[in-house]
Amino acid sequence: MLISTTAIASLLTPISSFSADYKPSPEIIQAQEEFRDNGFGIFIHWGIYSMLGSGEWVLNDPNIYHDEYKNLASGFYPSRFNAAEWVSAIKNAGAKYLCITTRHHDGFSMFGTKASSYNIVDATPFKRDIIKEIAEECNRQGIRLHLYYSQLDWGRPDYNPIGRTGHEPNRDTSGNWQDYLNFMDAQLTELLTEYGPVGAIWYDGMWDRDELPGGLDPELWNLDRQYALIHKLQPSCLVGSNHHMTPFPGEDIQIFERDKPGENEAGLSGQDVSPLPLETCQTMNNSWGYRIRDNEYKSAEELIQYLVGTAGRDANLLLNVGPRPDGTLPPQALERLAAMGEWMQTYAPTVQGVRGGPVGPQQWGVTTRKGKTMYVHVLDNNADVVFVPYSGNKLLAANEFVGKRKVKCTQTPEGLVLTLPESRDSQPDRVVELTFKNEIPGAEK
Ligand code: GLC
């Protein structure tokens, strides 16, 4: 038995010192608003696992030996990697930020860390710090950089006791958890001092210990100290964690995996929706890391509707792309980014710089709002008449967002009845712009 409950219990210090009274600083409050305004980001899962073309969890496969996996590093040479091309594709999609895996569960660091030689600069013939190149390019092109950081490690002896993943016969678990915590602090310090401004640290992997008694205790993971370290090193850097729970004190955004807030189809999003800025991460096909056989890409229309759906639920969309081992983005992903960008050229003002509308999602679609303007996003192409259950604010104008043609809209005490202009061809989203006398409030969460 690799895990003993007493081992983990002995790691726990009293919970009392965890600061439940976290108050975001003015810098964080401003960064949260900017994050909300940005609305749309691109996620990148890239590591040496891409060489095996089976996703970023391939090391967890019982048929793959860890000692052998490590040798992938000395063959990793992404000859076609070009940070400028990636960032341009992301920018042209209309996204405002990029979140990239700096170290995933396999434990391989994609940046030139001094805390472990198992990293892209020291362990591969490529020797280039791709996180640095991307950080510089993001700065150049005005894209905000967010950094994914795994708290789970499938290889280090000091990731001890291990959780429910990364089991392998003869796995070395002789190390000390405290050393692992110090290792994470050292890496985060590097990431926050040597790579320019970082918009967010995006944690993942704490859920690995969910079956161990006390395994999810924030004290065990040193969250208090680590979050304080991040905020100290970069006062505007947001902290978010994909732990699938309601946020802990010190977290500045709430993350949902593969589901819009309030939905739970993937089974990871039963937690309450908090008042923090929200973000849903979603795959373009069915994988995060490059998977050679996964061609099940969502269509550009579906992705646009997904983006609109998150905006209508007051959440950002972080849409994933898994680059190939040669450093290129798959053409299917590039096509979709371009198509989304084309749509965004017209519609960005209805999904970016806005907040979720005053009414929750409806059968026909969603609403977003900005000041006294409401955007009614009709996602159901068959809807002719839609009812928006919003009242108590005098309607001044109702127009199609594109072309500004007048739309028939009747205000009743219960809400608004909109008669949509006959649609010529099918569109992912028909947007009607409603102008009211007073500022429009958000929906209750
Ligand atoms: C999960 C997976 C991980 C992926 C992440 C993205 O937690 O473990 O591979 O990086 O989701 O949301």
- The per-residue pLDDT for range 156-182, each reduced to its tens digit, is 999 999 999 999 988 999 999 999 999
* Structural domain includes residue 385: yes
Judgement on whether residues 272 and 162 belong to the same structural domain of the protein: yes
Q: Tell me: the pLDDT tens digits for 96-124? A: 999 999 999 999 999 999 999 999 999 99
Mean pLDDT of 384-398: 97
**Residue 256 belongs to a domain with what CATH number?**
3.20.20.80
Instruction: Indicate the number of domains in the chain.
Output: 2
Residue 246 lies in a domain: yes
Ligand 1 geometric centre to CA of 230 (Å) = 22
Q: Which domain holds residue 388?
A: 365-436
Under the banding of pLDDT at 50, 70 and 90, the label for residue 443 is confident
Residues 181 and 72 grouped into a single domain:
yes
Q: Return d(Cα 337, Cα 341) in angstroms, integer.
A: 6
**Same domain for 135 and 284?**
yes
Closest by alpha carbon to 354, among 28, 36, 98? 36
Residues 342 and 372 both lie in one domain: no
Atom of ligand 1 nearest to the CA of 205: 7
Nearest alpha-carbon partner for 105 in 203, 245, 236, 227? 203
Amino acid occupying residue 301: E
Probe ligand 1: pick from 207, 242, 284, max atoms within 8 Å of CB? Answer: 242
Nearest CA to ligand 1 atom 11: 257
The pLDDT assigned to 444 comes to: 76
Q: How far is CA 396 from CA 347, 374, 407, in A?
A: 22, 11, 12
CA 371 to ligand 1 centroid distance, Å: 36
Residue 56 Cβ contacting ligand 1 at under 6 Å: yes
- Residue 216 shares a structural domain with residue 309: yes
Element (H, E) at 415: strand 415-419
Per-residue pLDDT reduced to its tens digit, 190-233: 999 999 999 999 999 999 999 999 999 999 999 999 999 999 99
* Statement to judge: residues 349 and 422 lie in one domain: no
Q: What is the pLDDT of residue 7?
A: 45
Q: Where is 102: in which H helix or E strand?
A: strand 97-103
- Can you give the pLDDT at residue 267? 95
DSSP element (H, E) containing 36: helix 26-38
Phi, psi of 119 (to 5 degrees): -145, 165
Nearest CA to ligand 1 atom 12: 257
232 within domain boundaries: yes
Residue 146 inside a domain? The answer is yes
User: Whole-prediction pTM value?
Assistant: 0.95
Say how many C-beta atoms besides its own lie within 10 A of residue 390's C-beta.
Answer: 23
State in Å: Cα 413 to ligand 1 middle.
46
Residue nearest to atom 5 of ligand 1 (CA): 204
Expressed in angstroms and rounded, the spacing between residue 148 Cα and the centre of ligand 1 is 10
Quote the ligand 1 centre to 157 CA distance (angstroms): 22
All residues at 6 or more sequence positions from 211 whose CB lies less than 8 Å from its CB, including other chains: 163, 164
Does residue 255 form part of some domain? Answer: yes
288 with 407, same domain: the answer is: no
Beta strand extents in 259-407 (DSSP E only): 278-283, 315-321, 355-356, 365-370, 373-378, 385-388, 395-400
149 and 228 assigned to the same domain: yes
Determine the atom of ligand 1 nearest the C-alpha atom of 257.
12
Give residue 405 CA to ligand 1 midpoint distance, Å: 44
Residues 204, 71, single domain; the answer is yes
Whether 240 and 291 map to the same domain: the answer is yes
Cα of 132 from ligand 1 centre, angstroms: 23
Residue 248 DSSP label: P
Average the pLDDT over 252-279 and give the result: 96
> How high is the pLDDT of residue 6?
41
What is the C-alpha separation between 377 and 313, in angstroms, rounded? 12
Strands 385-388 and 373-378: unpaired
Q: Which of 49, 258, 288, 294 to mutate to test the pocket of ligand 1 (most atoms within 8 A of CB)?
A: 288
Q: Is ligand 1 within 6 A of the CB of residue 188?
A: no
Residues 125 and 171 in one domain: yes
Contacts of 444 (CB under 8 A, 6+ apart): none
Nearest alpha carbon, ligand 1 atom 4: 288
- With respect to residue 15, please indicate whether it lies within any of the assigned structural domains: yes
Ligand 1 centre distance from Cα of residue 95 (Å): 21
Share of the chain above pLDDT 90, in %: 92
pLDDT for residue 45: 99
Domain boundary among 304, 333, 353: 353
Q: Is the CB–ligand 1 distance for residue 208 below 6 Å?
A: no
CATH code of 377's domain: 2.60.40.1180
Average pLDDT, the chain: 94
| Cβ neighbours of residue 239 closer than 8 Å, sequence gap 6 or more | 200, 201, 203, 227, 230, 231, 250, 251, 252, 253
Ligand 1 mean position, distance from CA 281 (Å): 9
Task: Name the 3-class secondary structure at 339.
Answer: helix
- How many whole angstroms from 289 Cα to the centroid of ligand 1? 9
pLDDT at 197: 98
**Is the residue at 297 inside a domain?**
yes
Residue nearest to atom 10 of ligand 1 (CA): 288
Kindly report the length of the chain. 445
* Ligand 1 nearest-atom number relative to CA 55: 9
d(CA 201, CA 179): 21
Compute, in angstroms, the gap from residue 243 CA to the centroid of ligand 1.
10
Cα 285 vs. chain centroid, distance in angstroms? 15
Same domain, 374 and 345: no
- Ligand 1 site, residue 204, Cβ cutoff 6 A: yes
How many angstroms separate the CA atoms of 121 and 84, rounded? 19
Give the whole-number percent of the chain exceeding pLDDT 70.
Answer: 95
In a domain, 444, yes or no: no
Q: Worst-scoring range by mean pLDDT, 13-27, 104-118, 131-145, 180-194?
A: 13-27
Amino acid at 384: D
Distance (Å, whole) CA 73 – CA 125:
8
What band does 10 get if pLDDT is binned at 50, 70 and 90? very low
What pLDDT score was predicted for residue 19?
Answer: 64
In the sheet where 415-419 sits, what is the strand order? 385-388, 415-419, 408-412
**CA-angle at 334, arms to 331 and 338, nearest 5°:** 140
What pLDDT shows up at residue 350?
Answer: 98
C-beta separation of 70 from 49 below 8 A? no
**Average pLDDT for 265-292:** 97
Q: Which of 328, 353, 378 is the last residue of a domain?
A: 353
Predicted local confidence at residue 159, as pLDDT:
98
Q: In the predicted model, is pLDDT for residue 1 greater than 80?
A: no
DSSP for residue 423: P
Last residue of a domain, one of 353, 380, 402: 353
Please tell me if the CB atom of residue 281 comes closer than 6 angstroms to any atom of ligand 1.
yes
Instruction: Tell how far the Cα of 129 is from the centroid of ligand 1, in angstroms.
Output: 23
